[in-house]
């Protein structure tokens, strides 16, 4: 007699199988995989327990289970990742967004909000003789190392009036970020450039950015080699992970760029390795020209984001 594989039966079997393969969160993985295959939300799985899978769905689920059992990250297997208020395509060769990076976006949005408040005239002010161009952005943001585009696209989607220039050194990242931008309908709000840091950013824009935000490669080389889980090291691009001996190789270059890129009073917001924040803050203060320099914690209360504001 042919066995009928219902949603509940597959969930239970997959959970046990992935647990035996060493998955730290086997039930969650099983839900993600099955929801992706069936085109349902995780909540909908639980109200459709008795729904049987057809042959195509069973074949797709089998392939997905084997990829996950081999240690491939869930986001690569399912091909997508929710981040803040948007859903992004995720693919091999491009860094997977982390929940901790949402704290970096929060910091960048504070800089955006301050710049927007300054750019909009107070109600009591008289309108200018010549009306401003309604298509011109009120605030410009520069993101270095965009990856999937999660930061740039979150800022653009959450703050009308902003225009984001996003750069990346990886062709695969630029191509994926561009597709994510188009899927979200943000073509006119986000520019994605293939370049090293800001090398090909329009020189006319340098000095006009209200926020420079970046989640650069920041894991110290020895930590990456000996402490980072194999699921990360074996599957995600080293280019987006290795930050050099102290994790600050790219940060130092960003710090050199920031005074040229930012407008007076502009914000620098950078995600960094938890053990490198104090050194990064000292480098920033020693450079001079910064009105404030602070370190913020991530969702697990670990030092994660450096936020500095240029003198006005």
Residue 1 has pLDDT above 50, yes or no: no
pLDDT in tens, 99-151: 899 999 999 999 999 999 988 766 655 555 554 455 567 899 999 999 999 99
| Buried residues in 137-166 as b, exposed as e (16+ CB within 10 A) | bbbbbbbbbbbbbbbbbbbbbebeebbbbb
Nearest-angstrom CA–CA distance, 36 and 21: 21
Nearest-angstrom CA–CA distance, 250 and 204: 24
Locate 54 and state its tokens: 């057809």
For residue 265, name the pLDDT band (cuts at 50, 70, 90): very high
Q: Which pairs count as long-range contacts for 96-103, CB under 8 Å and 24+ apart, including other chains?
A: 96/148, 96/236, 97/147, 97/148, 97/150, 99/299, 100/271, 100/298, 100/299, 100/300, 100/304, 101/150, 101/151, 101/215, 101/271, 102/299, 103/271, 103/296, 103/297, 103/298, 103/299, 103/304, 103/305
DSSP 40: -
pTM: 0.89
pLDDT in tens, 6-31: 999 999 999 999 999 999 899 999 99
pLDDT in tens, 284-295: 999 999 999 999
pLDDT in tens, 186-196: 999 999 999 99
pLDDT in tens, 204-258: 999 999 999 999 999 999 999 999 998 899 999 999 999 999 999 999 999 999 9
Residue 180 has pLDDT above 90, yes or no: yes
Residue 259 has pLDDT above 50, yes or no: yes
Mean pLDDT on 156-183: 97
Is residue 126 helix, strand or coil? coil
| Buried residues in 58-75 as b, exposed as e (16+ CB within 10 A) | eebbeebbebbbeebbbb
Nearest-angstrom CA–CA distance, 32 and 292: 42
Residue 134: its pLDDT value, please? 53
Do 111 and 214 form a contact (C-beta atoms < 8 A)? no
pLDDT in tens, 38-86: 999 889 999 999 999 999 999 999 999 999 999 999 999 999 999 999 9
Q: Which residue has the tokens 């073509």?
A: 187
Q: How far does CA 92 lie from the centroid of its chain?
A: 15
Please enumerate in sequence order all residues whose Cβ is within 8 A of that of 46, keeping only pairs 6 or more positions apart, or say none.
none
DSSP 121: P
Kindly report the average pLDDT of the chain as a whole number. Answer: 93
Q: What percentage of the chain has pLDDT greater than the value 90?
A: 87
């Amino acid at each position: 007699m042919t066995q009928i594989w219902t949603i509940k039966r597959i969930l239970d079997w997959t959970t046990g199988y992935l647990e035996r393969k060493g998955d730290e969160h086997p039930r969650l993985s099983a839900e993600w995989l099955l929801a992706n295959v069936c085109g349902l939300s995780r909540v909908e799985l639980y109200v459709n327990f008795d729904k049987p899978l057809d042959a195509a769905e069973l074949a797709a689920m089998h392939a997905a289970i084997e990829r996950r059992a081999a240690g491939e990250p869930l986001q690569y297997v399912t091909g997508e990742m929710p981040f803040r208020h948007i859903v992004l395509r995720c693919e091999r060769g491009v860094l997977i967004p982390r929940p901790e990076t949402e704290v970096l976006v929060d910091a960048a949005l504070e800089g955006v909000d301050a710049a927007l408040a300054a750019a909009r005239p107070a109600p009591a002010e008289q309108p200018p003789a010549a009306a401003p161009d309604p298509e011109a952005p009120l605030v410009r943001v520069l993101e270095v190392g965009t990856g999937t585009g999660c930061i740039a696209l979150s800022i653009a989607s959450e703050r009308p009036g902003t225009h984001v220039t996003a750069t990346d050194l990886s062709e695969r990242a630029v191509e994926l970020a561009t597709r994510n931008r188009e899927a979200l309908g943000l073509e006119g709000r986000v520019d994605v450039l293939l370049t090293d840091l800001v090398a090909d950013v329009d020189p006319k824009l340098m000095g006009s950015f209200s926020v420079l935000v970046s989640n650069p490669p920041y894991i110290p080389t020895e930590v990456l080699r000996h402490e980072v889980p194999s699921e990360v090291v074996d599957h995600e691009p080293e280019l987006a992970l290795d930050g050099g001996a102290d994790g600050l190789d790219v940060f130092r270059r960003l710090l050199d760029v920031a005074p040229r890129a930012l407008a007076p009073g502009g914000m620098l917001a950078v995600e960094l390795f938890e053990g490198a924040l104090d050194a990064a803050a000292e480098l920033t203060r020693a450079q001079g020209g910064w009105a404030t320099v602070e370190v913020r914690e991530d969702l697990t209360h670990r030092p994660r984001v450096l936020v500095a504001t240029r003198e006005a």
